[in-house]
A and B are shown apart, each in its own frame.
Chain A
């Protein structure tokens, strides 16, 4: 399996606090990975670094077949290169309809002139309808996304990520605030997405991680504490001490 993203020896310090400490991480082409860890372990900062929001003090972040360094690119360029991100809180554009949200995310030229002249083709509208169906929002296409429930917003955001057709999906706590049924649907969406692309899921909820049934990376104090199957890491004494034991 090819390595899609390689993070090596990365450190970040915020006002003297080491949020990420010599972190190394790799993910392959079509791999599902769960990242767990206690609060403050650096899970979100890790995503910030990969997506270009935070610049690390040292280390390398290498992306894709051409081994580009992501550290020299801005957020928009990184997103265009094929990294999609879902935030902890559902962040959809509440003042716009579900369809407008999806159309905006569709993989199309991002320059302002082509966006200005863009009018959705029948194929694009079909694509958004299919996506909406997949995330269970087909009936809500013309509703303003601000009216949606919390769970539906989370799905819409996942749908927008899929519309971007990224090669790597970074998903921050997708199941937070969801009912058990909603969680199941979310699991299915992520498993489906991971068949064709790499997906990294940051999650607190062990049950949810168990259902994803994938390799798990445990972060603690900004570096990797353990890596392997869920059963492997949950039997690791260090992991029990810092995370599960509490």
Chain B
């Protein structure tokens, strides 16, 4: 009677196989270890796309499965990036400062070194002292823990306040937007301690690593693929069990779940915090590949893009979210990168850099109206999966207690 997890969810195996194949092909074609067909910058784009796919999986868990349209998950993504960026920047600056001070005749004291690092990092915002939040930045282990802890605690506190007062639906979405906007505005300030609108930069250079970017880009691609694979597996395992049943139940009828004896608020909080941690890990892998993070990355619009990817890819199925994020973000790179050919109409030339957002918006509306299952719905055409026929759903006491046959007469 009991079948294994993989046997019940063949899509997980297919997905993992596709991901492994993709990683292998990119490696073989790369400049670092392969024949050099794919440029290093494109390898980075692909690696970043894998991270976006991972945060889309998190978004699908919270929106597609639990029914909470969070428009703030990019805040957690960005925070994860900031946390790893602090160590990368500190450590690399330290190496440079130590190197330059070693030229002097008198050996530098440790306080001179720390002052030097502070000057280098914070000179741009007119300061040289380390703010309190940089206290752990000299330790990779602690800073890696902060990647999960800081966004996790923020999500826990925010979620506890929001869910406890039973804020739902569009009001919750607005609250999450307010959260990410407030965070972005705070980080924009020079005295926020994270270099204001300059953000953290030079993150692509790993301290103490002499390998070229050709190789480093592949390391990150592999790490991103591994994180996506593990994240997908974990998410699929969570939703395949009874917890999955409960959160889908919360999406479809919150009150009913409550009367079954499940504490809906606790479940929402758990999923919200869990997905925030996944988003943070994705961000921590993304920004070393991007090389720079600044507060604009966590502007409200970023989280809305995330929802658009998941909607276009198909809510409520994990591979849909991955397909949506990969397809739309790569397409977006192509259009906004100036690679898409302009379309001359004689009287007007459509420049895709300007018109891409319009196209994206239109396709979002079109998907919502005409294909609510998104691109993932195409898989149903192949596997002939049918959605439940909801006849009779609205019959009952409210419609004069008609049976379906009576109602149709």
The chain A residues found within 8 Å of chain B, CB to CB, are 51, 53, 74-77, 79-80, 84-85, 87-91, 93-96, 100, 103-105, 110-112, 115-116, 118-120, 122, 125, 144-150, 153, 160, 164, 173, 176-179, 204
Contact = CB atoms under 8 A, between A and B. Distances in A.
14 contacts: A75-B255, A90-B396, A95-B252, A96-B245, A96-B249, A104-B245, A104-B246, A110-B262, A116-B238, A118-B241, A125-B1, A144-B388, A146-B390, A147-B389
B243 A116 contact: yes
B396 A110 contact: no
A104 B396 contact: no
A76 B397 contact: no
Given A115-B243, A116-B241, A179-B403, A75 B396 contact: no
B270 interface: yes
A84 B393 contact: no
Contacts of A79: 258-261
A89 B245 contact: no
A148 B391 CA distance: 8
Contacts of B267: 112
Contacts of A115: 241-243, 246, 262
Contact of A89 (B270, B389, B391, B398): B398
User: Residue among A94, A116, A153 with the most chain B CB within 10 A?
Assistant: A116
A95 B397 contact: no
A87 B243 contact: no
A150 B404 contact: yes
Sorted from nearest, which 4 A-B pairs have the closest CB atoms? A146-B388, A79-B261, A150-B392, A144-B388
A51 B396 contact: no
A118 to B, nearest CB: 5
Given A87-B256, A100-B245, A177-B402, A80 B396 contact: no
B263 A150 contact: no
A42 to B, nearest CB: 16
Say which size band chain B's interface belongs to. 35 or more
Given A112-B266, A176-B401, A93 B242 contact: no
Interface of B: 1-2, 238, 241-243, 245-246, 248-249, 252-253, 255-256, 258-264, 266-267, 270, 387-393, 395-398, 401-404
A93 B260 CA distance: 12
A234 to B, nearest CB: 22
A5 to B, nearest CB: 16
A91 to B, nearest CB: 5
B1 to A, nearest CB: 6
A89 B392 CA distance: 11
Nearest to A90: B396
Nearest to B394: A89
A177 B263 contact: no
Contacts of B266: 111-112
Nearest to A76: B263
B259 A93 contact: no
Nearest to B403: A177
Nearest to A89: B396
Contacts of B241: 115-116, 118-119
User: Residue among B242, B393, B402 with the most chain A CB within 10 A?
Assistant: B242
Contacts of B395: 150, 177
Contacts of A147: 388-389
B156 to A, nearest CB: 13
Contacts of B401: 176-177
Contacts of B262: 76, 110, 115
A119 B267 CA distance: 18
A110 B263 contact: yes
B390 A176 contact: no
B252 A94 contact: yes
Contacts of A74: 258, 263
User: Residue among A74, A84, A149, A177 with the most chain B CB within 10 A?
Assistant: A177
Contact of B261 (A76, A144, A146): A76
B388 A95 contact: yes
Given A93-B245, A144-B388, A176 B396 contact: yes
Nearest to B396: A89
B341 to A, nearest CB: 43
B388 A93 contact: no
A119 to B, nearest CB: 7
A145 B248 CA distance: 13
A150 B389 CA distance: 12
Contacts of A145: 388
Given A88-B396, A150-B392, A51 B259 contact: yes
Nearest to B267: A112
B241 to A, nearest CB: 7
Contacts of A103: 242, 245
Contacts of B404: 149-150
Nearest to B388: A146
A85 B260 CA distance: 8
A106 B324 CA distance: 37
B65 to A, nearest CB: 10
Contact of A76 (B243, B258, B389): B258
